[in-house]
Amino acid sequence: MEVRKAAYPQHALRSALKSIQMPRYLTYRILLTKEPEGGFTVTVPALPGCITYGENMEEAITMGKDAIELYLESLVAHDEPIPTEENTFEYSVSVVA
């Protein structure tokens, strides 16, 4: 029985696979603040200045996602690092006021 060699050397195949850009999924916390005049303001703590608004909670969440995507696109276009929340921990405390 004859053993056939791969058409591409193993290192060439690894190199080709590394060059394929797979989507990277990131998760960001958003804060929704109910506004007195109605609707919700959305802020993204990990992305300074990333703020948007929605008439209702569903729209606010959609707008928040769009704002994050546009913010990240701008960072990539300007060769800036993409912040993550990997080392961010959230905890709520209560104080007497």
pLDDT of residue 7: 54
Buried b (16+ CB within 10 A) or exposed e, 17-51: eeeeeeeeeeebebeeeeeeeebbbbbbebbeebe
pLDDT band of 88, cuts 50, 70, 90: confident
pLDDT of residue 15: 57
pLDDT of residue 25: 87
pLDDT band of 20, cuts 50, 70, 90: low
Mean predicted confidence (pLDDT) in 55-74:
97
List Cα–Cα distances, 5 to 8, 17, 48, 58, 68, in angstroms: 8, 19, 53, 55, 47
Tell me, rounded to whole angstroms, the distance of Cα 18 from its chain centroid.
22
Contact of 47 with 69, CB cutoff 8 Å: no
Tell me the C-alpha distance between 85 and 90, whole Å.
10
Q: Tell me the β-bridge partners of 41.
A: 33, 53
CATH number of the structural domain 26-77: 3.30.160
Domain ranges of the chain: 26-77
The tokens describing 31, both together, are 């804060």
With 0.75 as the threshold, say if the pTM is over it.
no
pLDDT of residue 61: 98
- The residue with greater pLDDT, 54 or 14, is 54
